Structure 1
Amino acid sequence: MNTPVWITATPPATHGELHIGHLAGPYVAADVLTRFLRADGEAVRFTTGTADHAGSVEVRALRHHRKPEEVAEGYRAAMVADWQRAGVEFDHIVGPRKDRGYGRWVRDLFSRLYARGVIAPRTRLLPYCEPCERWLHGAHATGTCPHCGAVSDAGMCHECARPNDGGDLLAPRCAICDTPAVAKRCRRLYIPLEPFRDQLSSYWNMVELPPRLAALCESLVEDGLPDIAVGHPASWGLTVPVEGFPEHRIDACFETAAMHLFGYDVTGPLPRRALHFSGFGHSFCHAVLLPVLLLAQDVKLPQEFDVNESYVVEEGVGEGHVWALDLLTEYGSDSLRRHVLQTRPHGRRTVFQRDRLVAARQELDENWNGWLGRLFAAVREECDGRAPQALPGGTGWHVLERRLRRGIEDLREAYGPDAFDPRRAVAILDEMVRSVADFGYVNAHERCRPTTECGHHRALAAQLAVASALAAWARPVMPEGADRLAAALQAEPGRPVDWSSLLPPAAGTRLAPPSGPVFGF
């Protein structure tokens, strides 16, 4: 990888469809940052993958009497389609069962780490289901987290993000038959983290971790860094390439962390910045295991983390009503993207409330589309549908210009990686639209003045300049509507989010507004 900026988002497990929590978490936010940086001229690589070999995939297959590969491939295809519908554009989505050479690459990495002593065998207790005759690892076992007391799978607690070794899980039960598990000794392969104590501590001090993630990392060091199992006796997943473990598969957490490095030449030039977007429950793989995989290969990569909390469904709303596909079909990508950015669970858990999603669509319909509809209608009636032969102006134009200049500075800060705040970006864009809509209302009365020179044309040119700018400025948040607006104004899509985009269409340019709403539908 030789791009200055590398952005990743957590690879989701392919045991179900994407829901609104996925979009409100890492994916739309990471796409916003990617689009902003690219429009600014930065070379960015935006990647993710799908965790096809997660234990939850096999559990779903067993429950529905299907093959795990069928479950993984079906939901992967659905996820990729939903990302596309939501306007989340990855450069590459690693497909563990599709990308040529992927399995060999993961096993080669595993073998190299074993040869260097980074991976070592240990004998520990692991839950076992006697009726199913199956070792219980990952999603195969449910119980109570020994660290925080939350309901947890074996291996990793998605509430406190701390690992457990399966045998540490309290009151484990089989996820398939619900039988209480028995603890049996099992020889597996581990990565002992304690030898990386100094390197990890130095690394975590070097990067600016979000406070909750910093607290997790510091508590891991204080309590003694654990040994992390990277293989299990199982039938689903990539085979462990180490003699003596013929029935073992590589752990999904190890694979998910390693997946980010697939196609990345660790011996080549490092990216200037690496930014990882993930939910807190998955942050261990990104903030602990991924750095260990790099440090074990003598690579110290400057990395940053954007960690979101959980986005839960309000009581009384069924899960089937919050699938990404259903909401995208009903509300469109513009409404859904701006809604999940406004309610993004950054620093705190948030609850999905449909009335707030409805309000997001109303904001677009009443203010954004209302103003643009009036503007396009005025240009059609007064200028035969062409950009007027006038410079931007009108009553209050200089005041509006000053506000927009201040606004674009705040917007760039909200979009930028150093103070990334997409919720703030949405608020700034809304304020810009309300301000220019007020400007349009005030200057519409110019048409009633009995003068030979129509001053209203200057106000129309000013509004067209703002509309052209919004096609660029709003694109990171709402790319679908922004591109429709750019096409209507005959403007180039993907222009920088800066003052240079505040230019009206050339005089005489025939506008081509869409037959329906510009933003949303």
Structure 2
Amino acid sequence: MLLRKFVQEELESEPDKVLFKDLYPWDEIDDTPFGASLAIVEPGGQTMKHSHEPDETFIIFQGKGTMFVDDESNPIAQGDVVVMPSGSEHTIKNDSETEPLMFLSVFWWGDDTDTHSFHMFGDEEEESGLASPPRLIFPSPPTSNGPLHVGHLAGPYIMADVIRRYDALNNRPGSVLLCLTDDHQSYTLSQAEEEGKDVREVSEYYSNHIRNCLAQCQAEPNIFLSPSRDEAYQKAVQDAFQKLYDSGFIKMEELDTFYCKNCDRGLFDGHVVGECPHCGDNSLGFCCETCCLPNKTIDLKEPVCTKCEAEPEIRKAKRLVFDLEPARQALGQYHNSLSLTPKLRRLSSFYLGMEELKVPATAPSSWGIAVPIEGFEGQVISPWVEIGLSNHYVRSQVEEYESVTHTFGYDNAFCYLMSDPAISLALDQNVRLASELVVNEYLSLNDVKMSTSKGHYLAPDILLSRMSIDLLRFYLAMMRPEVSETTCSLQHLQSTMNGIVIHRWQNWLADLGESLTHEFMSQAPHFEEWADEHSAFMAELNAFSNRAREGYEKRRLQIVAKTAIDLVDRAIAFGHEHRATSLALELAAARLLTLICYPLMPNFSTQLWKILGHRHTVEEEGWSVKVRLIAPGQRLLARAGLCGRRLFPNPIDLEDMIERG
């Protein structure tokens, strides 16, 4: 039995006195065929009016109020059940002045649809020889103001590489991982000022550092762009900006803006911090990382300049603004075409329900791409708008692709749900928008959010001097914050990887190698009698294979990692009656482990694949729907490869780092 308890203080909040907590998806169990959320509407509060693709049911546990669905309204109270068909507009209001209204929301798309991710999984009836067209995999651009830490890797970047490798295993060769650094953010300028260096030098240094880090982590992009050094990129962005200005999507407005007299500059984005107007947490300009809701910068409460900490004054200034209003309906249709996670579904409802859909298109700065419009000298194209403007140029770098997958954190949800697709649609109404969005929460270190500026993070290059990249990638898959925030620690990393992979996995493979060396002269055994227990074990192997494939298809790396662990545990417990057949099945388990782990642990899997005697690469062989046995008589590197425990020859030792904290 699993027991999960909730206290009101731990619930998340929405505007208009609404508290909520997602019940499913839940990390502790495999995905359910439905999603569910617990919600409390405080006295006088009301949920946001919205619609979405999945059908939904409300079960009222406490309180009373009014339920509005399309043009209907009905009083509801404890014990009532409300069913809302797909696409219906609905909101629930608490009519009481004293009693909270509590209800359970249950929603679903159908029996074969994932309630967590954007990608559906269907069982294959038979294998096809035709290769699927490649996809373009585009993770959120990392800002070139500092190095990547393992929290970044556990989010968009390892996932992007895993998708590419999984595609290659499943007859979809040629998928392209494209990454560009977000060079022109205000954070890069702030970092240069802190280091006392030229901003171009700082941007180039960290952009190169990010590229090298991705390569070191076996996630090197097929295409890597550094916008501050790419004149063709800058020209394409300016041309796209000019097109939107000429067509009326970008207009001049006189706005209230923050200005710091001490620093003699206008404040925007990372140059100003204050209290979020939505959730009350600290937030920089443009968007709050806590609640993921956009702000106008000027509506930050108790704002201060991030450089000198002085309170800014308010000045009128002419700015160019991008208007999303013409795309509101199209964006709603786009969101309905995607199977949004519960959190993205709520954010979509909030964004689409905003009274004013505008974002600043320019900012007062000397760092960035100059505005190509006369009269706006001294302003640059907003870096948040720049990424959307660059999409056509970025995609032109890829010769052929069928679909686009984005990987990003929830703090970038507004860009991927709203501003980027709105800009793309304004430039080309027939543009192919991303069909899959893979999203993540934060990975914390010792229960505190990682921050390079505060020195609280784990650097991949330091860890990789103590362990192989395969071990780090597998650990990050185990800890990936897919549904909720997760936390890691050096102690947990060391004990988990030493205990599971270096000790348990290698001991099993070494024992298997000893048996094959001494009993079968390092060859795959010929089958003896096939008993019921062998059929049952083969069925279990196929179940493990299906569960791992489903985990990859649903972009749930925690499920994949858990499946690999469970597979080895089951193989260790498997009996050895009818010796040759049993060892042949253990070899099949080792072969399956190689396939399951390849997208996560490419070096480990490639090495083990060769040890098992395969002449073709893992990707050339592919991941068959049904588990395959290794051909009897196939030569194995049992003594040298398995018995020697050479896959991970040394345990991880992080004790000195743990002592230093």
Moved more, 272-281 or 300-309: 300-309
**1:513 corresponds to which letter in structure 2?**
G
Structure-2 change in CA distance of 1:314 and 1:243 (3 Å)? same
**Contact 2:187/2:270 (8 A) holds in 1:** yes
Task: Name the counterpart of 1:467.
Answer: 590
**1:496 corresponds to which letter in structure 2?**
G
TM-score normalised by structure 2 residue count: 0.71
Q: Which runs of 5+ in 2 are unaligned?
A: 1-131, 651-661
Aligned counterpart for 1:273 among listed residues 403, 425, 437: 403
Q: Secondary structure at the match of 1:97?
A: helix
Q: How far 1:508 moved relative to its partner?
A: 5.1
Aligned counterpart for 2:284 among listed residues 153, 157, 168: 153
**Contact 2:362/2:379 (8 A) holds in 1:** yes
Q: How does 1:32-181 map to 2 (within 5 A)?
A: 32-43=162-173, 44-99=175-230, 101-181=232-312
Structure-2 change in CA distance of 1:102 and 1:376 (3 Å)? same
Task: Name the counterpart of 2:465.
Answer: 329
Q: Deviations over 1:372-429 (max 9, x none)?
A: 1222233334444x3245238787433221100122122211111xx33221111111
**Contact 1:47/1:91 (8 A) holds in 2:** yes
Count the aligned residue pairs.
504
Larger strand share, 1 or 2: 2
Q: Deviations over 1:177-212 (max 9, x none)?
A: 111111111111110122222222222222222221
Q: Does 1:422 align with 2:557?
A: yes
Aligned counterpart for 1:303 among listed residues 435, 450, 455: 435
Aligned counterpart for 1:312 among listed residues 420, 444, 466: 444
CA–CA separation in structure 1 for the residues paired with 2:223 and 2:413: 21
Q: Secondary structure at the match of 2:464?
A: helix
**Contact 1:48/1:260 (8 A) holds in 2:** no
Structure-2 change in CA distance of 1:161 and 1:315 (3 Å)? closer
**Contact 2:351/2:418 (8 A) holds in 1:** no
Q: How does 1:459-498 map to 2 (within 5 A)?
A: 459-491=582-614, 492-494=617-619, 495-498=621-624
CA–CA separation in structure 1 for the residues paired with 2:285 and 2:215: 33
CA–CA separation in structure 2 for the residues paired with 1:390 and 1:310: 50
**2:647 corresponds to which letter in structure 1?**
V
Structure-2 change in CA distance of 1:176 and 1:359 (3 Å)? same
Q: Does 1:513 align with 2:513?
A: no
Aligned counterpart for 2:146 among listed residues 9, 16, 23: 16
Larger helix share, 1 or 2: 1
Moved more, 29-38 or 308-317: 308-317
Task: Name the counterpart of 2:512.
Answer: 375
**Contact 1:125/1:166 (8 A) holds in 2:** no
Q: Deviations over 1:460-494 (max 9, x none)?
A: 33323332232222101211211111122232222
**1:295 corresponds to which letter in structure 2?**
L
CA–CA separation in structure 2 for the residues paired with 1:138 and 1:497: 46
**2:419 corresponds to which letter in structure 1?**
L
Task: Name the counterpart of 1:247.
Answer: 378
**Contact 1:172/1:181 (8 A) holds in 2:** yes
Structure-2 change in CA distance of 1:484 and 1:4 (3 Å)? closer
CA–CA separation in structure 2 for the residues paired with 1:301 and 1:392: 55
Q: Does 1:406 align with 2:547?
A: no
% of aligned pairs identical?
Answer: 26
CA–CA separation in structure 1 for the residues paired with 2:649 and 2:408: 27
**Contact 2:524/2:630 (8 A) holds in 1:** no
With CA pairs under 8 Å and 6+ residues apart, which has the higher RCO, 1 or 2? 1
CA–CA separation in structure 2 for the residues paired with 1:262 and 1:465: 46
**Contact 2:404/2:433 (8 A) holds in 1:** yes
Q: Deviations over 1:436-475 (max 9, x none)?
A: 2222xx32xx7xxxxxxxx644443332333223222210
**1:518 corresponds to which letter in structure 2?**
L
Q: How far 1:501 moved relative to its partner?
A: 6.1
**1:71 corresponds to which letter in structure 2?**
V
Task: Name the counterpart of 1:338.
Answer: 474
Q: How far 1:500 moved relative to its partner?
A: 5.7
Q: Secondary structure at the match of 2:283?
A: strand
Moved more, 390-399 or 214-223: 390-399
Q: Secondary structure at the match of 1:403?
A: helix
**Contact 2:259/2:265 (8 A) holds in 1:** yes
CA–CA separation in structure 1 for the residues paired with 2:162 and 2:437: 15
Q: Does 1:502 align with 2:502?
A: no
Q: How does 1:429-444 map to 2 (within 5 A)?
A: 429-439=564-574, 442-443=575-576
Q: Secondary structure at the match of 2:545?
A: helix
CA–CA separation in structure 1 for the residues paired with 2:544 and 2:517: 29
**Contact 1:143/1:152 (8 A) holds in 2:** yes
**Contact 1:57/1:68 (8 A) holds in 2:** yes
Q: How far 1:343 moved relative to its partner?
A: 1.9
Q: Secondary structure at the match of 1:262?
A: helix
Structure-2 change in CA distance of 1:34 and 1:519 (3 Å)? farther
